[in-house]
Structure 1
Amino acid sequence: MPNRKRPAIVLGTVALTLLLGACAAQTGASQTGTSQTGTSQIGAFQAGTSQAGGQAVPASSGLDRFYGQKPVFKPCEPHLPPGVPAVKAECARLKVPLDYQNPKGRQAEIALLRVPARGKDRIGSLVLNPGGPGFAGTDHAALTAALWAKSPITERFDLVGFDPRGVGASKPALDCYTDAERDRGAKLSSIPAGLDDWTRQETRQLLQQCAERSGGKQVLAHVGTRDVARDMDVLRQALGDDKLSYVGTSYGTRLGAVYAEMFPKKVRALVLDAAMDPLAGTHERRVQQATGMQASFERMAAACAAKKDCPLGTDPKRATQEFQKLARPLIDKPARTSDGRGLTFEQAVEGVTAAMYTEAIWPTAIAGIAELKAGKGDTLLKLRDGYHERTADGTYPNSLEATLAINCLDEERHTPKQETALNRAWFKAAPFTDPARPIKEARDGCEQWPVKPTLGYPYATNIKGLADTLTVSVTRDPVTPHEGGVSLAKTLGGSLLTVEGEQHGALLTANACVNEAVAAYLVDLKSPAEGARCKL
């Protein structure tokens, strides 16, 4: 079957780190030196039980055996990028009901990783989510602990990461495609292909394939953000915390906001970096993302035009057309690569799109475009592989397959007319991704999913009794626009830290202004002043 799916993806810290690592491999620099993170010195939901709103869970709810767990943590070795210092980590597993409306039924196991606090004056646990949706949080916690090694945050908090249900080492794990199918072009990114759209039969086959490989339709029906938010509350109590302290990046801001909606009285502190707008529906947010990507592409082109031998030319206004001239021929004839896989049009676009997440990757993308002029595609393919988290041995984690399944429960379900309109709007907003092929009728790959979406829009509104939250939003974030951060902070009634810069999210950088503000909030519950700003 054609392997295509177009969920909205917002990469988190893990994938961004991998992309920066790909750049380091191209330039010969170390990963830590490239990302500049190694020097960080951070100085209306009806739950059906009384757990909603943050109340204690009664035994009659059937959830007491889950809330009463005490995970047994044992030493483990996290997977860290080259050059990142080792940390002492502990791992465990947490049991949760697959369906919270049937707590006596099938269970899921959530993989956990904890890096204990460095100091004795411990506040509690700090739960982390790196984004996606679908990125594993276990190794992310270890990476964050390494990058924040001298921070008051790691001195006062245990850092705890978890692989959300269906993701990574959690069980059952979502699985829709083999590694070979992924290499052949399984379409799991946010970039519309516009080349060969879904048919009704193919969406049926997608459901069947995902269900057979993931453990059944029941699994596919219970991997949405609201399910994960409930898991996070079970985790909170299992860790021994009366209230949750949390840092979520990108999609992790949605998870944090939904948790706040469902359990407002159980929130101690939420840091929401690279915020998703809780008021924007699927169409609006995707078009905003496309607009941000195009703007970032044009700024990259302008920076390139100021230098000699820019492969996009000396006129930034013509950069899109210059890239199209190089990329569109790949539809019929992929560029050659040293591993023999070749670089397709979609992969070239994904490689360039990956560079939009931070200007640190722009030079690598420009080098890849220059290479493409010579008929070679290795550099852009490496960027694409970093975007998909492909390893050197050709294997993939299930992160983007999880993205597909989670978004089928979170995003608005589109009719063919709506999906066609969305794809056309995307290409109009981001013409550098446009293959110039007519879109006859696009279908939503989720149209055959076993249940309707469960998130609902808008979400996290009119929350009462919520502690102050901290939203961090970068002014030129191409993926989660700054106005989305403004909207989330206003919707939650919380604080906003605006960060001037050109990248997706701010917490990955070794920026003293950002890091000190976040540390003061998490450790001392001291929020930034109104109108506070930092600069990357």
Structure 2
Amino acid sequence: MRLHPGRRAVLPSLLAAMTLLAAGCTSDGGSDDEQATTSPTSAPAEPTAEPIEWTDCDEQLQPLIAGRPGSERGLSFDCAQVSVPISYDEAAGDTLPIPVIRAVHPGQTERIGSLVINPGGPGASGVDAAIGLALTLPEDVLRRFDLVGFDPRGVGLSEAAVECIPADTKDRLIASEPQPTSAEQLDDTFALATEVAEGCAERYESPAALGAFNTVDTARDMDLLREALGEEQLTYLGYSYGTTLGSTYAELFPDRVRALVLDAAVDPDQDLRASAEASAAGLEAGFDAFAQNCLSLIAGCPLGADPRLFVDELMLQASQAPIPSAEEGETRQATPGVVLTAVQAALYDTRTWPQLSQSLAAARGGNAAGLFSLADSYSGRLEDGTYSNLLDANVAINCADTDEQIEAADVRRLAAEWDAKYPLFGAGSAAGLFTCTPWEADRTPLPERDAEGSAPILVVGNAGDPVTPLPGAVDLAEDLTAGVLLTWQGQGHTAYPKNQCVNDAVNAYLIDLVVPLDGLTCPA
């Protein structure tokens, strides 16, 4: 069982901040076991949100961002909670607390309102991401908006977080066979997925409780957050899975959309099979781009003349004798699963390509420390061997969002077919289709999303995105009645704020509601 590929890695260096923020939170009613879900076809309930009571949390956060690029901006941070109904069928019933953070630029003038963000996943912390984005987003935007991040239901370290996969099981998931094709390998994959599903079902006791972690209800939560912030309409920036959340919000509340930027869109038109195959193809293309870049280095590629063959041979080496790490105190040894997880992690961002090539070369020489660093950043593993709940939330939300179930026989057939078509990532993508088959939770399938009646919505796609390939952005922009497509001819996952042409278009849209020409393309 592998992570759903449409996610962004968390920033481990800031996870301590999440812990501090959660420590100051108190629940205002209800336990995880009491949660229930709703049907996406029901009319959304309209509970009332109280205005947010902010608390200064600079003291916790400033030491953690000191010295980082962007820390000289002089940002201030406030923290709070917003209460949302556990079940929108019982909007006046028990609630759960959603952690929220606000970053304010000291040069803010002519404030427009709040820019709410979601970093993707599902499972990545919006609190964590808001801290990072406050250091990197264009200051023109930060001078006009408060930047607001929140941990969606099921995500982060609050009492609302879903936690049901033990750390040792997560270690086994990452280390498991990444290219299962034999009957025995696939049996092991199915058994591990079933073990995870049964453990989570036992932890949450009822299908309704585990099914409460779904995107439709998170979109309703986001509307309560909008109201609590005092905004008449939502201004939103969503990445990867965040495009699914944003487009779901627009479908439920089209008249409450001011401006939505949906960057690196998850394709709304694909079923699970098509999505998994597109991801495998995208990752293969991403690896080819990484390999070509490595071969173009003036100093030479550390992986030799054929980086793909190098990785194949390294994985064979790891299967015969798992590779130790030279990191002091590290007892794990890198299996093929760790090798390929590290590769996949690095394909998200071209800035990590040098780290990947150096780490692969070091592992060939017997030191897997660099591979563990990449794999751990991807899975949310911390230095002490514990994990964030990214994996738990990723599985729970993905499974709650669909009623599709792919049977083992179909997975076996697809694993063989895709292994031939996509040698690095095909079999693993096929095996991942079984993840939700044994999942015992209520399902709240995503609605079709045209968001008729909304203001223009800007969809940003990246021609070289290995995680959410460009056709997904094209489809989302076409499906949305007011969708406008902006394409960047670049590499890596997501586009904003990596390119000045993209930045200019997005900034003008967010600040002045100037919508770029549909189909505008920015060069790499």
TM-score over 0.5 (shorter chain): yes
- Segment of structure 1 superposing worse, 234-243 or 328-337: 328-337
Say whether 1:240 aligns with 2:230: yes
Superposition misfits of 4+ residues, deviation over 6 angstroms: none
Paired residue for 2:410?
418
- 1:291-370, aligned counterparts within 5 Å? 291-306=281-296, 310=301, 312-314=303-305, 316=306, 319-338=307-326, 339-370=330-361
Q: Which amino acid aligns with 1:358?
A: D
Paired residue for 2:123?
134
Q: Assess, with a 3 A threshold, how the Cα gap between structure 1 residues 449 and 230 changes in structure 2: closer, same or farther.
A: same
Q: Does structure 1 retain, via aligned residues, the 8 Å contact 2:201–2:207?
A: yes
Paired residue for 1:430?
422
Q: Does structure 2 retain, via aligned residues, the 8 Å contact 1:80–1:139?
A: no
Say whether 1:380 aligns with 2:371: yes
Match among 53, 78, 93 for residue 72 of structure 1: 53
Q: Does structure 1 retain, via aligned residues, the 8 Å contact 2:319–2:336?
A: yes
Q: Does structure 2 retain, via aligned residues, the 8 Å contact 1:207–1:449?
A: yes
Q: Which amino acid aligns with 1:156?
A: R
Q: TM-score, normalised by structure 2?
A: 0.84
Q: Assess, with a 3 A threshold, how the Cα gap between structure 1 residues 396 and 337 changes in structure 2: closer, same or farther.
A: same
The 3-state SS of whatever aligns with 1:108 is: strand
- 1:88-487, aligned counterparts within 5 Å? 88-116=76-104, 118-148=107-137, 151-183=139-171, 185-187=172-174, 193-194=180-181, 195-197=185-187, 205-213=195-203, 217-306=207-296, 310=301, 312-314=303-305, 316=306, 319-338=307-326, 339-411=330-402, 412-433=404-425, 444-456=434-446, 459-461=448-450, 463-487=451-475
Q: Which amino acid aligns with 2:325?
A: T
Deviation at 1:393, TM superposition (A): 2.5
**Alpha-carbon distance between aligned partners in 2 of 1:189 and 1:333, rounded to the nearest angstrom:** 14
Match among 2, 12, 18 for residue 6 of structure 1: 2
Q: Assess, with a 3 A threshold, how the Cα gap between structure 1 residues 472 and 212 changes in structure 2: closer, same or farther.
A: same
Q: Does structure 2 retain, via aligned residues, the 8 Å contact 1:165–1:171?
A: no
Q: Assess, with a 3 A threshold, how the Cα gap between structure 1 residues 96 and 421 changes in structure 2: closer, same or farther.
A: farther
The 3-state SS of whatever aligns with 2:506 is: helix
Q: Assess, with a 3 A threshold, how the Cα gap between structure 1 residues 237 and 146 changes in structure 2: closer, same or farther.
A: same
The number of aligned residues is 482
Q: Assess, with a 3 A threshold, how the Cα gap between structure 1 residues 80 and 427 changes in structure 2: closer, same or farther.
A: farther
**Alpha-carbon distance between aligned partners in 1 of 2:518 and 2:91, rounded to the nearest angstrom:** 44
- Segment of structure 1 superposing worse, 296-305 or 193-202: 193-202
Deviation at 1:172, TM superposition (A): 2.6
Q: Does structure 1 retain, via aligned residues, the 8 Å contact 2:75–2:104?
A: no
**Alpha-carbon distance between aligned partners in 1 of 2:512 and 2:308, rounded to the nearest angstrom:** 48
**Percent identity between the aligned chains?**
35
Q: Does structure 1 retain, via aligned residues, the 8 Å contact 2:9–2:124?
A: no
- Segment of structure 1 superposing worse, 419-428 or 288-297: 419-428
**Alpha-carbon distance between aligned partners in 2 of 1:435 and 1:425, rounded to the nearest angstrom:** 8
**Alpha-carbon distance between aligned partners in 2 of 1:175 and 1:257, rounded to the nearest angstrom:** 27
Give the superposed CA RMSD: 2.9
**Alpha-carbon distance between aligned partners in 2 of 1:397 and 1:357, rounded to the nearest angstrom:** 20
Q: Does structure 1 retain, via aligned residues, the 8 Å contact 2:286–2:492?
A: no
**Alpha-carbon distance between aligned partners in 2 of 1:435 and 1:119, rounded to the nearest angstrom:** 50
Could you report, residue by residue, the CA deviation over 1:77-106 in whole angstroms, capped at 9, with x for unpaired residues? 345486141631111111111111122443
**Alpha-carbon distance between aligned partners in 2 of 1:215 and 1:126, rounded to the nearest angstrom:** 37
Deviation at 1:420, TM superposition (A): 2.9
Deviation at 1:311, TM superposition (A): 5.0
The 3-state SS of whatever aligns with 2:81 is: strand
The 3-state SS of whatever aligns with 2:91 is: coil
Could you report, residue by residue, the CA deviation over 1:254-294 in whole angstroms, capped at 9, with x for unpaired residues? 11111111111111110001111111111111111111111
Q: Which amino acid aligns with 1:289?
A: S
Q: Assess, with a 3 A threshold, how the Cα gap between structure 1 residues 294 and 201 changes in structure 2: closer, same or farther.
A: closer
Q: Assess, with a 3 A threshold, how the Cα gap between structure 1 residues 479 and 158 changes in structure 2: closer, same or farther.
A: same
Could you report, residue by residue, the CA deviation over 1:397-424 in whole angstroms, capped at 9, with x for unpaired residues? 1112110111111243212233334434
Q: Does structure 2 retain, via aligned residues, the 8 Å contact 1:193–1:346?
A: no
Deviation at 1:385, TM superposition (A): 1.2
Q: Assess, with a 3 A threshold, how the Cα gap between structure 1 residues 390 and 202 changes in structure 2: closer, same or farther.
A: closer
Q: Does structure 2 retain, via aligned residues, the 8 Å contact 1:8–1:189?
A: no
Q: Assess, with a 3 A threshold, how the Cα gap between structure 1 residues 449 and 144 changes in structure 2: closer, same or farther.
A: same
**Alpha-carbon distance between aligned partners in 2 of 1:334 and 1:82, rounded to the nearest angstrom:** 37
Q: Assess, with a 3 A threshold, how the Cα gap between structure 1 residues 189 and 7 changes in structure 2: closer, same or farther.
A: farther
Q: Assess, with a 3 A threshold, how the Cα gap between structure 1 residues 134 and 199 changes in structure 2: closer, same or farther.
A: closer
Deviation at 1:181, TM superposition (A): 3.3
Deviation at 1:481, TM superposition (A): 0.7
Q: Which amino acid aligns with 1:370?
A: A
Q: TM-score, normalised by structure 1?
A: 0.82
Deviation at 1:219, TM superposition (A): 2.9
Paired residue for 1:521?
509
Q: Assess, with a 3 A threshold, how the Cα gap between structure 1 residues 428 and 219 changes in structure 2: closer, same or farther.
A: farther
- Segment of structure 1 superposing worse, 471-480 or 103-112: 103-112
**Alpha-carbon distance between aligned partners in 1 of 2:507 and 2:188, rounded to the nearest angstrom:** 47
Q: Does structure 2 retain, via aligned residues, the 8 Å contact 1:320–1:431?
A: no
Q: Does structure 2 retain, via aligned residues, the 8 Å contact 1:472–1:496?
A: yes
Q: Assess, with a 3 A threshold, how the Cα gap between structure 1 residues 214 and 467 changes in structure 2: closer, same or farther.
A: same
Q: Does structure 1 retain, via aligned residues, the 8 Å contact 2:415–2:427?
A: no
Q: Which amino acid aligns with 1:303?
A: N
Segments of 5+ residues of structure 2 without an aligned counterpart are 15-38
**Alpha-carbon distance between aligned partners in 2 of 1:383 and 1:342, rounded to the nearest angstrom:** 14
Deviation at 1:13, TM superposition (A): 6.6
Q: Which amino acid aligns with 1:210?
A: C
The 3-state SS of whatever aligns with 2:472 is: helix
